[in-house]
Structure 1
Amino acid sequence: MRITLTSVFVDDQEKAVRFYTDVLGFRKKHDVPLGGEDRWLTVVSPEDPDGTELLLEPDKHPAVKPYTTALVADGIPATAFAVDDVRAEFERLSGLGVRFTQEPMEAGPVTLAVLDDTCGNLIQIMQTGS
């Protein structure tokens, strides 16, 4: 068994795909119209284009807004992405105007930081080891 798809709820799919591709550097994998404005819209890491896909899922279900609002209010990331160097990625993304809610910090063997994806989520970037 393996993970092939995970998702984050987003308030605007078009804004989300621009952020996740143009800013974070993912690549669009699938973009399938579902009727109306909604799409089956996934991105993948350019380092693993056949790996796990991230679905940029519309946040229209009534349970989503209270859930995501509570996570953000409590500072809880919706998901985490591995990076080789958190501090370098923090500098790169900060230079692109990304707002961080948690600057790089060490937590045992992990270095992490938390950013705002502009679409309703906090995202953790993390580096393991030294």
Structure 2
Amino acid sequence: MATSEFASVRYVVDDVQAAVDFYTEHLGFSLRGNAVPAFAEVTAGHLRLLLSGPASSGARATPEDVAGAGRNRIHLTVDDLDAEIERLRGDGLSFRSEVVSGPGGRQILLADPAGNLIELFQPAS
């Protein structure tokens, strides 16, 4: 798996711009890149907070029957999603969603032994 200087967490939000304004104006986060209606990325220290609106692939990837409050999960970026799926299935793990593709890339969800969701994400090339 690829590593990054940031720990990433995805929050599903109703209004991306309102969320960006809240985190940047009230909590000291910095906007990375540009906010778009479907998605924005803000950082603070080593935390990268992914703000996914209803139209983003990240929001659509969470089936209602596996979602807890807020549909939050750990977001891990991978270089080759298909290879990771094959490797993890080979280890006996099962997934909680199908692969979902969107403007930012592709992702799939699995759960840890306690049921916490983990998103494996491969950015679009």
TM norm. shorter chain > 0.5: no
TM-score range (shorter-chain normalised) is 0.3 to 0.5
